[in-house]
Amino acid sequence: MAQVPSWAKDPNAKIPKLYKSLMEKHADLLPAIREDRVSVVELEKLMSISNYAAATLKRAILSRNSKSRKPAQDPNENFNVTSRGPVALPSLRSWDREAEILPSGLSWESKEEPSVKDLIDRRTAVFNDLHRRKEANKVTRIDVKMHGPIAITHLGDPHVDADGCNWPELIKTIETISKTEGMYAGNIGDTTNNWVGSLKRLYAHQSTTYDEGVRLAEWLLTSVPYVYVILGNHDGWNEGGSLIRQILKNSSVATCTAGCARIELHFPKGDPIRIMARHDFKGSSTWNRAHGPMKAAKLDPWADIYVSGHKHHWVSHMHEGMDGKPKWAMTVRGYKWHDSFAEEHGFYEHEHGASCTTILDPTAKPTERVKLVWDIEEAADLLKFYRKRAGYN
């Protein structure tokens, strides 16, 4: 809203020459202005002047026209409006006010700049492109070329540079995936500690340097084929996300995201199997550790499998969704043992469930299309058995 000068509100003040000449030039409009039938925006257009000048001129005319003054109104009167007509949109003016109508006596050239219309057009194009890409990338479709059951081992938070990273368990998991036909990995995030800000002091309390952590992360992320890699909260600190994406250029990974990976696996036979993986699903409960992924499965029953990490505990839950399909909801514990944060805050550490493996058989009965196994070696043996039984060795 333009701020009109004090002289325009004072009916006894002298009207500057500039505004007097405007009144003379547009004398035919004065009756309508006095009766308050012309809005500031309309005046702006009719006289080809700025919003500021139009508001000033209108106020000056009204203040000198006692007939147009309305009696004091009830302050709540505006709330009684029952209908309103269309209003004109503001004209697309440049940032600088037009110098010739300023009452200060100064004059300058307006700077060249894009018009508001150009700005709106540009913002519209940026939004349309962003929206199209977001919609197109929402679901990652993966075509599984091999026949028979396959398995995905969901690795919990690795924290590979933590002194408490359970490398014996991690090595066993990776070696088992690498030598088992049809077995793939998924990484639920927090690949390294990647301390940030005041937490950087914690590097003094671990024996692995930042650089060594990056090398360990590269080894892990390029060791076996990954269906997905999630960027956890630790990965998002500093430039961790970009670093991991660079490392993944040399790896086999179908999708990498800091948000929710929606994966649709298509097989040579049978219906697709869908996975929703994210570092952490919103919601927690002391009495139901599967609350987060369960809640996601109830509110968004798109997937067959909901898997997350972050909280460093393990749990699984299964129920039939409203679409008649079994829903698996799991949280994997990860590999960070002897966590000082957990010790200081009184969380008891879980001893199992660093990863879990889902064996996927798209041709099986609805209740058997997904089988959940917590021990990696047991999962590998079961996958071999199911593949052999289906006629694939």
CB of 146 to Fe ion, least distance (A): 32
CB of 317 to Fe ion, least distance (A): 20
226: which strand partners? 185, 253
Q: Which range touches Fe ion (CB under 5 A), out of 80-88, 147-155, 184-192, 213-221?
A: 184-192
Q: Contacts with Fe ion: how many residues (CB under 5 A)?
A: 5
- Is the Cα torsion angle 143, 293, 131, 189 positive or negative in sign? negative
Grouping H, G, I as helix, E, B as strand and the rest as coil, residue 316 is strand
Q: Which range touches Fe ion (CB under 5 A), out of 12-20, 307-315, 322-330, 344-352?
A: 307-315
Quickly tell me which residue has 């649709």 as its tokens: 264
Binding residue (CB under 5 A) for Fe ion from 157, 161, 235, 361: 157
Q: Which of residues 186-215 bind Fe ion (CB under 5 A)?
A: 190
CB of 380 to Fe ion, least distance (A): 25
CB of 189 to Fe ion, least distance (A): 6
Q: Which range touches Fe ion (CB under 5 A), out of 33-41, 54-62, 185-193, 217-225?
A: 185-193
Q: Which of residues 119-138 bind Fe ion (CB under 5 A)?
A: none
Binding residue (CB under 5 A) for Fe ion from 51, 223, 233, 251: 233
331: which strand partners? 308, 315
Which is nearer to Fe ion, 157 or 161 (by Cβ)?
157
Interacting residues of 220 by C-beta distance below 8 A, sequence separation 6+: 158, 160, 170, 174, 187, 191
Q: Which range touches Fe ion (CB under 5 A), out of 210-218, 246-254, 308-316, 372-380?
A: 308-316
Alpha-carbon distance of 388 to 181, in angstroms, equals: 11
Q: Verify binding: residue 161, Fe ion, rule CB under 5 A.
A: no
DSSP per-residue string spanning 75-120: TTGGGG-------PPPP---SSPPGGG-TTS---PPPP---HHHHH
Element of type H or E holding 40:
helix 40-47
Which is nearer to Fe ion, 262 or 310 (by Cβ)?
310
Which is nearer to Fe ion, 200 or 388 (by Cβ)?
200
Which is nearer to Fe ion, 183 or 277 (by Cβ)?
277
Which is nearer to Fe ion, 165 or 224 (by Cβ)?
165
Q: Verify binding: residue 232, Fe ion, rule CB under 5 A.
A: yes
CB of 248 to Fe ion, least distance (A): 19
Q: Which two tokens stand for residue 145?
A: 């070329």
Indicate the Cα dihedral angle 6, 8, 11, 12, nearest 10°: 60
CB of 193 to Fe ion, least distance (A): 9
Which is nearer to Fe ion, 162 or 383 (by Cβ)?
162
Alpha-carbon distance of 284 to 312, in angstroms, equals: 13
Interacting residues of 321 by C-beta distance below 8 A, sequence separation 6+: 297, 298, 301, 327
Q: Which of residues 360-379 bind Fe ion (CB under 5 A)?
A: none
Element of type H or E holding 226:
strand 226-230
Binding residue (CB under 5 A) for Fe ion from 58, 154, 262, 310: 310
CB of 153 to Fe ion, least distance (A): 18
Alpha-carbon distance of 229 to 309, in angstroms, equals: 12
Residues forming the site for Fe ion (CB under 5 A): 157, 190, 232-233, 310
